Chains A and B, each alone.
Chain A
Amino acid sequence: MRPETYIRGTELGMALASTYMVAVTLIQTSFFEVLRPYLAFAFSPFLMGMGADSTGVDFITMGLAMGLSFLFWRRGDEAGFGRLFMLNMLMFFPAILDFSMFNWIRLIIQYDLLSKVSEIWVFTVGLLLQATYLTLRYTGRFRELRVELLERGAEEADIDQVSIGQVTYLAELVIGTAAISAVLYLAVPYVRDYIGEEVSGMPYPHIIIGFICAMFIAAATIIYLRGGAREVEKLAAQPEQPPEPEPAKEPEPKEEAEPDEGTEPEEEAEPAEDG
């Protein structure tokens, strides 16, 4: 299989898998339960035509989501993948609300929390969404890079090798990040118990502390990334090559044989020495 086909196949798999998972999560949320009667009314002609009951709404919703996901994948550009991420996050949001301390939608519409999925399920789906977003974002660029390298005259075998390396690297990085995030998520209850008392003693609401922490994390990340980038630049600027050898006074290049007059067929006239 050609690497380009492999990359597109991976993109399709990730896009459909994430949309499927998030759609499955959506139809099990409390908010969807509120919406279900309205959707059933809206889709009633189709449902009656198919002879299906209200569960058909779930299939129609999932089918629509998967169809849109396929269309966004088919576009294959960064804008399409951005829209796919937005669609997924939109469907993911009701699940988030079910596990939020502050559910502001319930302030507008009163409904009971009847979520059929667990928090760990929601977190896993969230990880899948983030992984899909980052994967699609970079695989799109890998394909662009392939075109650029081809235009620069690189050999296709080398480009294939590079693409395979890039996709492997991306997969390893995404899996590693997901693992670290999962460890963090699972470690939170223990950490919470440990520092909970300290934080609760602070005279500020948790939102202010959280906001400051978020800004601090962002600033630290930027500083870290910039610092790392400078280090790379410094390394690149270091004289990593041996000093240039002294140029020879008289270069003595290897000489080819002189053109043989006997084999020079071009000219054959002899000017007369007649002045």
Chain B
Amino acid sequence: MLTRDIMELIVSGVTFLVMGMFLGNLVLIVLGLFPIIFLSLGLLIGQPRTVEIERSGEDQKIWVDSRVSDKITATVRGGVGLVTFGDILPPSFRLDEGTNFKILWKGVRDREATIGYTATCAKRGYFNLKTVGWEAHHPLQITQNTIGEYSAPRLYIVQPKPLLVKRIREKKAITNIPMPMEARIKFGFPTTDFREVRDYHPGDSYRNINWKVSARVLSSRPGALQVNEFEKEGKKVVWIFMDSAAHMALGTTVRSTLEYAVRAVLGFTHFYLSRECQVGLCIYDYDAHEWEGAYMKPTMPSLNLESALGDVDQIEGQVAPTEAAEAPPARPTTPSRVLFPDMGKRQQYRIWREMLNVDIKYSGESLREAIHSCRRHIVGTLPLFIIVTMVDATKIDGLVQGIKELYKYSGKLRQRPAIIVFNVQGYNIAAQDTEEAIAAELLDYQNRPVYMALRGLGVNVVNWNPLTQSFAQSLIKQRA
């Protein structure tokens, strides 16, 4: 495609030619050919046509705030002109040294240029740099720029750093952050830990029959034999529920509430897994509470096309109702983001992998729906529930309903499960100056009645301001 600028030159040349014809002047005629020859030569030489890119280095798995280096070599062939090429880094990468963009002049001979850079990865995630972009300019901009991309893949897996909690010797710093009180799983090998005596069920081993108790029970009333029940080789269970709603985006791209929530989740995961607990993870979206139930099966009256199109039927063929008319609007189905409780390094790896992908609106389920999704694993058990969220006084219904749902499925007679609401104070994270910090304090003050209400429900509320407290300090602060 020619640029508009070229037409101006051609018009100028033709004007000279016509003037030369009109006046019968050879000088003007030849001068009129001047811009035309100029343009023709320019196009004949043309702009660079081939750009080949080669990337050295290798894919890397690194931690957040680590540095990566890369080197890119471009070879330009054909034509004459200006070539730019650059490696487009993800927004969360900060260029520290070198450059990821280069401009070079391609003369008559082939040209090769190399760029190298070092960048800091400030945010977790999978970053797949697929191509290196290039752009070839004609020296006189006679033709439009040629824009291309050359395949040069590079994968960076940036892992979030967990907040590790270690043992300290100062006894005063003991917190009341609980371990799970009790756990029960349906499958697994029985341990030697006695649990209870219960009625015999077909399939129970005869060896487990408690003859003494059976004799005592049967002597008083007719009934079943009594068997000893032992704890299965299950571990204590911790369920972590993590909020991925829009309000978790408060803060900057690399230092958002969600990022701190991710680090906190990894901290809890590491802590409990290293203490032989089973850890489950469930990601939910607080905002989904707003439309919870709104997408129930709609009760739209079915259209009676026969009567409505009765007259049309007489003049045209039968109109088949379209699929769109029949299909009710359905709630967008989002996959449930649940990792069922497990233990060991493998579970830690699974949770880490999930944390790499977590983003705002990662899940489409509300807290209540998420609990409902994993109810079969928590019914009748007493695990520890940790809800990592940002408590907002204006949006508390979904959280309260979720807590009630937990009480509904979990717990036993006179025993309620331990629930921690780990509140990442997002307003403090988002505050950029003193005034905003004061405003954040005010908003936190506004939340205090909510904390009281939650504590009234038997929930342990842990507030964490990541800018002023370490993860451990926030836990110590909750000491009894």
Contacts and interface: CB of A to CB of B under 8 A. Distances in A.
A256 B63 CA distance: 7
Interface string A72-110: 000000000000000000000000110111111000000
B52 A241 contact: yes
Chain B interface residue number, banded = 35 or more
Given A218-B10, A229-B43, A253-B60, A96 B168 contact: no
B1 A229 contact: yes
Interface stretch (B96-104, B186-194, B281-289, B312-320): B96-104
B253 interface: no
B114 interface: no
B59 A266 contact: no
A111 to B, nearest CB: 17
A177 B164 contact: no
A112 interface: no
B27 A123 contact: yes
Contacts of A236: 49, 136, 146-148
Interface size class of A (residues with CB under 8 A): 35 or more
A162 B82 contact: yes
Interface string B20-50: 1111111111111111111111111011011
B42 A271 contact: no
Between A176, A188, A211, A241, the greatest number of chain B beta carbons within 10 A of the residue's beta carbon is seen for: A241
Contacts of B177: 271-272
Given A268-B168, A270-B166, A214 B17 contact: yes
Nearest to B6: A225
Interface string A234-271: 01100011101101000111111001010010111111
Contact of B37 (A149, A177, A218, A245): A177
* Residue in A104, A138, A214, A273 whose Cβ sees the most chain B Cβ within 10 Å: A214
B150 A96 contact: no
A269 B17 contact: no
Contact of A96 (B23, B107, B153): B23
B63 A270 contact: no
Nearest to B145: A236
A152 B103 CA distance: 10
Contacts of B43: 224-225, 228-229
B470 A233 contact: no
Interface of B: 1-2, 6-7, 10, 13-14, 17-18, 20-44, 46-47, 49-53, 58-63, 66, 78, 80, 82, 84, 99, 101-105, 107, 136, 139-144, 146-148, 150-151, 153, 155-157, 161-168, 173-179, 181, 267, 271, 418, 470-473, 475-476
Nearest to B418: A275
Given A224-B43, A236-B136, A256-B66, A174 B176 contact: no
Interface in A160-206: 161-162, 164-166, 169-170, 173-174, 176-178, 180-181, 184-185, 188, 206
A229 B157 contact: no
Given A158-B103, A225-B40, A188 B26 contact: yes
Given A152-B84, A275-B418, 17 more contacts: A100-B25, A102-B24, A119-B27, A130-B31, A155-B99, A162-B103, A173-B38, A210-B29, A217-B36, A225-B43, A267-B166, A267-B267, A271-B174, A271-B175, A272-B176, A274-B179, A275-B181
26 contacts: A104-B23, A123-B30, A126-B31, A134-B35, A154-B84, A162-B104, A170-B139, A173-B42, A180-B41, A181-B31, A185-B26, A217-B33, A222-B2, A222-B10, A225-B2, A229-B1, A232-B143, A232-B146, A235-B50, A253-B58, A255-B61, A266-B164, A266-B470, A267-B470, A269-B168, A269-B175
